[in-house]
Amino acid sequence: MASQLRLRSALALVTGAGSGIGRAVSVRLAKEGAAVAACDLDGAAAQETVRLLGGRGSKERAPQGNHVAFQADVSEARAVRRLLEQVQACFSRPPSVVVSCAGITRDDFLLHMSEDDWDRVIAVNLKGIFLVTQAAAQALVSSGCHGSIINISSIIGKVGNMGQTNYAASKAGVIGLTQTAARELGRHGIRCNSVLPGFISTPMTQKVPQKVLDKVTRMIPMGHLGDPEDVADVVAFLASEDSGYITGASVEVTGGLFM
Ligand SMILES: NC(=O)c1ccc[n+]([C@@H]2O[C@H](COP(=O)([O-])OP(=O)(O)OC[C@H]3O[C@@H](n4cnc5c(N)ncnc54)[C@H](O)[C@@H]3O)[C@@H](O)[C@H]2O)c1
């Protein structure tokens, strides 16, 4: 999709910005004119994303329109509160676009899955999105600003997947959380939508055995895995006023897989 400047006055907070989909989203939103607060658990990776965007890479005093890296663990309430405070202190406003891309997998079959693997995936993928959505919405409501919150779920949250009870449950939860947030926040001018990618070429899918990827690829009507930019295109649309009457939606970006 050709790049436009639909987000010229926006400040976008992107979590999981140090890799894969989060990095592609950061690049795309910056190309559309947004200032990007790029957050990741891996602070060096977030800084690298900001370097790609042509920003300063430090959280002290961002000049207008610049991009800044932040380090935070989205599964920790205190860290998320501090993140929102730092972003607001840095840019003198709350983020009007919030994209939660931070996510992990810890796969195992149901019969063998450990409590720790269950808890960690739910903590990052579901509680993390709750904490970021809540903190961002609180900041927007208290400053009277409108916004667009975009949560990255997964098609697996809709159809399940072998070896991913924890991941599927977390991603199904993200859809319900986002729909509920959309109902509650519409009156404040805050839209909330989720994006359900299929299989996208990122470090996350590099962990999937090639045999499984080949099998999945044969099931995709488009005939190939998606690129992170395919997801970023949809996120940019949902962030912009071009989607001004869309809220509570779950948009699939799957190449037709599991339609
Ligand atoms: N790649 C796919 O095929 C695919 C498909 C559907 C959904 N998704 C979802 O898209 C999102 C991005 O996935 P990706 O493929 O780009 O993965 P990725 O592994 O390339 O990137 C995930 C990023 O999240 C960060 N992160 C992990 N835990 C964090 C935490 N606690 N706090 C802050 N940051 C944290 C990581 O450091 C990493 O930079 C995830 O939510 C994932 O579940 C991916």
- What are the per-10-residue average pLDDT scores of the chain (259 residues)? 80 98 98 97 97 70 70 98 98 98 98 98 99 98 98 98 97 99 98 98 94 95 98 98 98 96
**Which residues pair with residue 87 across a beta bridge?**
none
CATH number at residue 177: 3.40.50.720
- Model pLDDT, residue 4: 78
User: What CA–CA distance (Å, rounded) separates 229 from 132?
Assistant: 23
Per the structure, how many domains does the chain have? 1
245 noted as active-site residue: no
Domain membership of residue 182 (yes or no) is yes
Q: What are phi and psi of 109, to 5 degrees?
A: -70, 150
Q: Which residues line ligand 1 (CB under 6 A)?
A: 15-16, 18-22, 40-42, 45, 73-75, 101-104, 124, 128, 152, 154, 197, 199-200, 202-205
Ligand 1 atom nearest the C-alpha of 231 is 10
Domain membership of residue 111 (yes or no) is yes
Ligand 1 atom nearest the C-alpha of 45 is 39
- Model pLDDT, residue 198: 98
Q: Closest residue (by CA) to atom 36 of ligand 1?
A: 16
**All residues at 6 or more sequence positions from 222 whose CB lies less than 8 Å from its CB, including other chains:** 255, 256
Decide: 88 and 139 in contact? Cβ < 8 Å. yes
Structural domain containing residue 117: 11-253
CA dihedral 138, 142, 145, 151 (to 10 degrees): 0
Pocket test for ligand 1, best of 14, 19, 25 (most atoms within 8 A of CB): 19
Angle of CA points 37, 104, 229, to nearest 5° = 55
Domain membership of residue 226 (yes or no) is yes
Domain membership of residue 114 (yes or no) is yes
Element (H, E) at 208: none
Residue 152's SS3 state is: strand
Q: What count of Cα atoms within 13 Å lies in the side-chain half-sphere of residue 147?
A: 29
Burial 82-121 (b: 16+ CB within 10 A, else e): ebbebbbebbeebbbbbbbbbbbbbbeeeeebeeebbeeb
* N residues, the chain: 259
Domain membership of residue 5 (yes or no) is no
Domain membership of residue 82 (yes or no) is yes
User: What CA–CA distance (Å, rounded) separates 85 from 46?
Assistant: 18
- CA 217 to ligand 1 center in whole angstroms: 20
Pairing state between β 147-152 and 97-100: parallel
- CA 144 to ligand 1 center in whole angstroms: 31
Domain membership of residue 166 (yes or no) is yes
Ligand 1 atom nearest the C-alpha of 74 is 32
Which of 167, 196, 252, 255 is the catalytic position? 167
- Model pLDDT, residue 64: 38
The structure's pTM equals: 0.96
Ligand 1 atom nearest the C-alpha of 17 is 39
- Model pLDDT, residue 55: 62
Q: What is the CA radius of gyration of the chain?
A: 17
Domain membership of residue 124 (yes or no) is yes
Q: Closest by alpha carbon to 68, among 80, 81, 56, 85?
A: 56
User: What CA–CA distance (Å, rounded) separates 242 from 244?
Assistant: 6
Pocket test for ligand 1, best of 13, 14, 15, 21 (most atoms within 8 A of CB): 21
